[in-house]
Amino acid sequence: MSAITAWGSFALIMSISACSLVPTVQTPIHQSERGTVALRTFSDSEFKASHPKTLESTMMLRVLQGLRVQEQKSTLSKLMTGDVPPVPAFSQDQILYLAPLLTSAFSQATAEEQVTFLLNNNTSSKKISIK
């Protein structure tokens, strides 16, 4: 393959790839020392959400109160100590902080956006993943 053909193939692949990329745009809803709530465009253009949604604050409170996380342990650790029971994902203080902000964000989000949030927690360095 000649250098010209190789460069032509590379340029074609790059132009096709660029057409399928959707730029990520983040729109802040709230930002403070405690955390951030924002709207972010989907990177998958095939998925459309059913936003905007009007949710009751009490519904958001119940959803956040119902979320549980469970620490993942190695097999050896599980054999020695057993499974760790699920615990609430958020403290009551975090729930009271997030609920109105998330309710507002869902009412503002478009079908191309997802609601994201980050809680700043200075007391813990544990990484929690919610699946």
- Residues with Cβ within 8 Å of 33's Cβ and at least 6 positions away in sequence, in order, are 120
Q: pLDDT at position 122, please?
A: 66
**Buried/exposed code over 92-118 (b: 16+ C-beta within 10 A; e: otherwise):** eebbebbbebbbbbbeebeebbbbeee
Q: Indicate whether 9 pLDDT > 60.
A: no
Q: pLDDT at position 131, please?
A: 30
Name the more confident of 45 and 92. Answer: 92
Q: pLDDT at position 44, please?
A: 67
Q: Select from 43, 20, 30 the least CA-distant residue to 119.
A: 30
pTM: 0.67
Model confidence pLDDT, tens digit, residues 99-131: 999 999 999 988 888 888 988 876 553 434 333
Name the more confident of 49 and 31. Answer: 31
Q: Indicate whether 45 pLDDT > 50.
A: yes
Give the single-character DSSP code of 86.
Answer: P
